[in-house]
Structure 1
């Protein structure tokens, strides 16, 4: 109770100062629908993108295809186009090429962990609103199915005539009623958990006290997540295709999944029906195991680096399949990661130039690569530091499919922004003013323009230990305010010394927190 009172009090103190008078000009966002996040009005930009999309539809005769390529736990600094690549032992020629031929976002944000991001981009809502704040684990007793009151992007696209396929990692529930094909996808081919949760049962080098102990293995069988490749259909059967019985099986998983996605592209491209392919790589989430068909694929030869190189190869082959199927010019592709690198598993972890890592709301945990590629629609060579939240993919998909937000429940609050004009126009500007960061049920921080303000922080107790050995702390007398343009590593707060906007960001946070009064967060038992 004392911590809650302190945070509210701190926000009140800083919101009450005279600087608040400038907030109206500084904050360009306008709320036009009560239960939707406000956006920056760009009417001319909006009209221009409507015309551009309409002309494309007249040319092709159907809505555009949509392909998401989501890497698991890839750091901001892993791809070459973001400063990594060959320079850190794992070249990424395909991601680099698509960034050069499309739009590279340098302020693209996720949630701080896997399940949180994966739920947010498919519901258009912050995880704290849906209750999907972390993985649903063995032993968890849920008070309700969180999906019962959610409308997924797959459901909406399906109603608009799209064929919807999710390939790869899901991680948002494996019980009946929570699987991809239960919540709107026409088809699912993949795994419910992360690869570490699967491979730990067959990896005696990393987990000898489990795998080499028969009694513990017997106990583990009662709680282990499903270790099968699943193939399921909406309203139809779910088949267990194969089981991961070795680390070699796990190492080959992404090749199997990529082959399946490519085969479905070849089939779906022959139809008049547009498609949405939501492809989620198992790599580069720890524990990474080499694909035995591509041993030592990277220059570094370490398992994580080999995984980065392999994922890049698969991305190139998926895009190549779209091109060979003749649908590349009518397909919007977005390449990203679900959060920052998991440094607790180092050296089986990625690279970020920023402070923090997966599990934190410092930049290292939430700023990730974001590459928008659409041949003929996105001007090659674009780069922008305007703010983009991965939840905005939800709104952009709605725009591409011509779906009205009127179809969304009125009793839910929505956090996404339609960013189609930002992504698809040569001089497009962001329609989002701020990104809010949560850690579970704790409101942590906000980014607005180049400023980042924390009211709670996660502090590691040892090098790299941002999850297993860290603490959540209140910030103290004042919010920690950073100017990311002069201090991208968030090392020196400038709130009272070099910023006139401390109170303005505080007011924005307070307004955001107020949305939870009328639209309370869902309690599902996590």
Structure 2
């Protein structure tokens, strides 16, 4: 009898665990190398019906803004209220799908890598931004595949316009990693600003020997190139005026690229990667003082919004707005360390951290006639999902190579179904190679946390600390600022399930290990 009771108890326990797993993880694994996703057969059927009516493959335009805060866009609580109206982005949010739980990585390089490869940066090795003159010891792109590469092999013409910051050496630039062409700069706005503004960087500029030595490490220019060809300089960046013009030059290129694609009757995949609003902000002619706030950052937001409006007008004029998915987002939260040259977030923390302020970014999906106007969703969307979604819409999903684990999920049906729900179950948040936090439904569980020792010092004066016996958990509906952990008190029921999600995620590294390309800091465990 005791043995029978033990067997029954064991079966009941296993049934409970299975039920719990099904609730916390309702995903289905289709391929060993693809992140499992939540099945939604009804919305999948609706998506397929919509796509079947298209006369040809859709265009994909990703508008990636640098360092814009969640709360900068009017539709997300900013705009006029904080002195920088964004009417064009607001219009797209209201006439498309506003995604209120879109997640990036804590800094720009990891986010861009995730967006282009569909992989958490710990897998690609692109875990943090490279600094002036710094180059990885190993070319990360030798074993990576971009969405641009796969779509280029499937009949698309692909390009990136603007900031790259994913490798500056030969073999690591856009035309080396699958893009058919590009125009932009290989680094980041601040890397060029430090050579042209003596008021901010006097200890570099006013010391000729130091200045000349450092300048040799940076190709200070806008360059362009095509697949299989050498890059060439388009515009040197020699002073503040040159730096102020770059986003208009990028916009000119994007317009030309779209026109050429339409003329050649080819579907296009274009990432328009703004230099703004990354510090230091210098605006183009006609934008100084244009925002009500009259601060350089706010003027830059207005310029970015105008460029968005300009590109959207082109899609309308060319009559391709009904065949183009447009996605607007930011690569991370605002860089509060450079205040007041930074954006706004209503959440805790900022760029560099895995608090909501560092990784929760605006997300807008617009597609005339395909995405129902006026939708708002809090469904989870990780920017690495853009890899899978773009390839799926391009009809090339079967061409994703099996060699690398893909952390993104296909969100096509989420975007296109009139009542679509996210196909993603959880978001895993990293600082370099450390798993920091997990978002599931409205809950955020921190395994490690950023401790900032001074206000607005998320990057320059912060440390990473482990949590105690209980992970820190916040209900983001009742405590969106992550002020007081309620994990042990109110979420004891959910901790095992979320810990199980983290454990299952970390187990994927056994077959698909992290890649070390030489960006670990000396003495660091990461």
Are residues 1:362 and 2:360 paired?
A: no
Deviations 1:501-524 (A, max 9, x none): 011101100111111111111111
Uncovered stretches (5+) of structure 1, i.e. residues with no partner: 1-15
Are residues 1:201 and 2:201 paired?
A: no
**Does the CA-based 8 Å contact 1:19-1:501 persist in structure 2?**
no
Are residues 1:98 and 2:96 paired?
A: no
Q: 1:33 aligns with which of 31, 34, 39?
A: 31
Deviations 1:116-162 (A, max 9, x none): 00000100101000001112345545342111111110110001100
- Output aligned runs, 1:45-64, within 5 Å: 45-56=43-54, 60=55, 62-64=56-58
What is the alpha-carbon distance in structure 1 between the residues aligned to residue 28 and residue 17 of structure 2? Answer: 20
1:13 is aligned to none
Deviations 1:448-468 (A, max 9, x none): 000100010111110100000
287-296 vs 168-177, greater mean Cα deviation: 287-296
Are residues 1:427 and 2:425 paired?
A: no
Q: 2:458 aligns with which of 462, 466, 483?
A: 466
1:7 is aligned to none
**Does the CA-based 8 Å contact 2:24-2:498 persist in structure 1?**
no
Residue correspondences, number: 504
**Does the CA-based 8 Å contact 1:269-1:326 persist in structure 2?**
no
| TM-score (structure 1 length as normaliser) | 0.94
Q: 1:294 aligns with which of 287, 299, 316?
A: 287
Are residues 1:374 and 2:367 paired?
A: yes
Are residues 1:273 and 2:266 paired?
A: yes
What is the alpha-carbon distance in structure 2 between the residues aligned to residue 139 and residue 423 of structure 1? Answer: 40
1:484 is aligned to 476
1:189 is aligned to 183
Q: Per the alignment, in what secondary structure is the counterpart of residue 332 of structure 1? A: strand
2:6 is aligned to none
2:467 is aligned to 475
Q: Per the alignment, in what secondary structure is the counterpart of residue 308 of structure 1? A: helix
**Does the CA-based 8 Å contact 1:290-1:296 persist in structure 2?**
no
**Does the CA-based 8 Å contact 1:20-1:507 persist in structure 2?**
no
**Does the CA-based 8 Å contact 1:135-1:173 persist in structure 2?**
no
- Output aligned runs, 1:115-126, within 5 Å: 115-126=109-120
CA deviation after TM superposition for structure 1 residue 434, in Å: 0.3
Are residues 1:338 and 2:311 paired?
A: no
Deviations 1:267-287 (A, max 9, x none): 222222111111000000011
Uncovered stretches (5+) of structure 2, i.e. residues with no partner: 1-13, 520-526
**Does the CA-based 8 Å contact 2:135-2:169 persist in structure 1?**
no
- Output aligned runs, 1:114-513, within 5 Å: 114-138=108-132, 140=134, 142-223=136-217, 225-405=218-398, 407-499=399-491, 500-513=493-506
What is the alpha-carbon distance in structure 1 between the residues aligned to residue 185 and residue 133 of structure 2? Answer: 19
CA deviation after TM superposition for structure 1 residue 408, in Å: 2.8
CA deviation after TM superposition for structure 1 residue 296, in Å: 1.0
Deviations 1:374-406 (A, max 9, x none): 11111110000011111111111111111133x
What is the alpha-carbon distance in structure 2 between the residues aligned to residue 294 and residue 358 of structure 1? Answer: 26
What is the alpha-carbon distance in structure 2 between the residues aligned to residue 21 and residue 163 of structure 1? Answer: 47
CA deviation after TM superposition for structure 1 residue 427, in Å: 0.6
What is the alpha-carbon distance in structure 1 between the residues aligned to residue 332 and residue 17 of structure 2? Answer: 34
Deviations 1:174-211 (A, max 9, x none): 11100001000011100111111011101011111111
**Does the CA-based 8 Å contact 2:287-2:300 persist in structure 1?**
no
What is the alpha-carbon distance in structure 2 between the residues aligned to residue 507 and residue 351 of structure 1? Answer: 34
CA deviation after TM superposition for structure 1 residue 41, in Å: 0.8
1:520 is aligned to 513
1:9 is aligned to none
Deviations 1:390-447 (A, max 9, x none): 1111111111111133x33323111010000000111111100000001001110100
1:11 is aligned to none
Are residues 1:65 and 2:59 paired?
A: yes
Q: 2:40 aligns with which of 26, 39, 42?
A: 42
What is the alpha-carbon distance in structure 1 between the residues aligned to residue 389 and residue 22 of structure 2? Answer: 27
Structure 1 vs Structure 2 CA RMSD: 1.4
| TM-score (structure 2 length as normaliser) | 0.94
CA deviation after TM superposition for structure 1 residue 292, in Å: 3.1
